[in-house]
Structure 1
Amino acid sequence: MPRIVVALQVDFADWEPALLMAAARYYLGCEVLTASPDGAPVISMGGLKVAPDIGFAEIDPARFDALVIPGGYAWEKGQAFDFTALATGFRAENKVVAGICAAASALAATGVLNDVAHTGNSLASHQRYPAYKGTALYRDQPQAVSDGRIVTAAGSAPDTFAEAVLKALDLWTPEAEAELSAFSAEHRVARA
């Protein structure tokens, strides 16, 4: 089964990766590890204290199938980790790279969104980063966007983010669809 690493920072948005993590681990049998910059515990925006499995230095694309980065207030506070090496390393190995909310803009800062369709909280948040050249490929929509094993979403789309990551990992099974559809029923929209 695939191995997923979720890169957490202080003040991460705990609801953004939660559905994906639970579906992948509990329902699909994936190995889901959490990481923090130095391997030390981090506290989410909601006060959830997570003792990570590894530090960011131990994240090796050869050992994982997906890198998932939730958003949060680290970017607003100017304390966010620079994900350039991790994101470009995973992309070079043709592994899934996924960012939601402020982390979608963090991916814009790495340049990995320059040649794939993508979304995020806003185009303006991506355009703040000099390495971002993907304006023409930005999709202003409420659902997650997946292209070339790169998944992005606005912070308001954790359900379609989870779905898109599972699809990118070839894990979109009837079981996964049944579980996730129950959680997203109140947000039901026509999906392609």
Structure 2
Amino acid sequence: MTRLAVVLTEGFADWEVGQLAASARTHFGFDVVTASPGGAEVRSMGGLRVTPDTIAENLHGDAFDALVVCGGTIWETEKAPDLSSVITDFIARGKLTAAICGGTLALARAGVLNDIPHTSNAPDFIAGAEGYRGQAHYRDGPQAVRSGMIVTAPGSAPITFTAEIYRGLGFGGEELDTYVQILGAEHQPKAA
């Protein structure tokens, strides 16, 4: 069974992993495990309370197929958790590692975006992250970017974020392409 570890922090952005978690469980039958810093209950930006399954700092790549770091309000503050050892463990084991919105700051701080194509909310959003030297590889666009087993996305791209995670795990195809078209249709310009 495919296992996803989804890291949620205080003030996490509900919409950024909602499609992923729901479709992974109900459509694909994945085991979706939530984790938070210290294993504490967290509240989303929308006010949803989540009691995580485990402690984020204790996640190990040998137990999961992917690590997903959700964005939220904490990542731009001094309270942002340091997940560098978890992130580098997943990457060292060849596991898919994904981050959206503020969660991309965790990957940037871990130094994993310095030499690969990636994206975030904006070039200046990620530029000041300690340890980040990947400006030359930044891709400024509205969709998620996958480089091998690393997926990054702006907070406005939860659908392509979900799709690139599935593609990185080997679950791509016509059905997934249709899913992206349907759920992304509202973002297409209207025909004149």
> Smaller-chain TM-score range?
over 0.9
Residue type matched to 2:118 in 1? H
Percent of pairs identical after alignment? 45
Give, in whole Å, the separation in 2 of the partners of 1:83 and 1:119: 19
1:135-176 deviations in whole A, cap 9, x for unaligned?
111001110000021000001111110011111111124444
What's the counterpart of residue 131 of structure 1?
131
Give, in whole Å, the separation in 2 of the partners of 1:87 and 1:130: 15
**Displacement after TM superposition at 1:178 (Å):** 4.0
Q: Which moved more, 1:48-57 or 1:63-72?
A: 48-57
Q: What does 1:18-167 align with in structure 2 at a 5 Å threshold?
A: 18-167=18-167
Q: Which moved more, 1:62-71 or 1:117-126?
A: 117-126
Asked if 2 retains the 8 angstrom alpha-carbon contact of 1:99 and 1:151, the reply is yes
Residue type matched to 1:37 in 2? P
What's the counterpart of residue 9 of structure 1?
9
Asked if 1 retains the 8 angstrom alpha-carbon contact of 2:108 and 2:130, the reply is no
C-alpha root-mean-square deviation of aligned residues, in Å? 1.6
Asked if 2 retains the 8 angstrom alpha-carbon contact of 1:4 and 1:32, the reply is yes
Asked if 2 retains the 8 angstrom alpha-carbon contact of 1:109 and 1:126, the reply is no
Residue type matched to 1:139 in 2? R
What's the counterpart of residue 172 of structure 2?
172
**Displacement after TM superposition at 1:22 (Å):** 1.1
What TM-score do you get using the length of structure 2 for normalisation? 0.92
1:43-84 deviations in whole A, cap 9, x for unaligned?
001001111111113311000011001111002332111121
**Displacement after TM superposition at 1:19 (Å):** 0.6
Q: Which moved more, 1:170-179 or 1:140-149?
A: 170-179
Aligned residue pairs, count: 189
**Displacement after TM superposition at 1:122 (Å):** 1.4
Give, in whole Å, the separation in 2 of the partners of 1:174 and 1:50: 34
Q: Which has the higher helix share?
A: 2
Q: Which moved more, 1:73-82 or 1:142-151?
A: 73-82
- SS of equivalent to 1:111: coil
What TM-score do you get using the length of structure 1 for normalisation? 0.92
Residue type matched to 1:14 in 2? D
Gaps of 5+ in 1: none
Give the number of the structure with larger relative contact order, counting CA–CA contacts within 8 Å between residues 6 or more apart. 1
Residue type matched to 2:79 in 1? Q
Give, in whole Å, the separation in 2 of the partners of 1:123 and 1:106: 15
Residue type matched to 1:34 in 2? T
- SS of equivalent to 2:142: coil
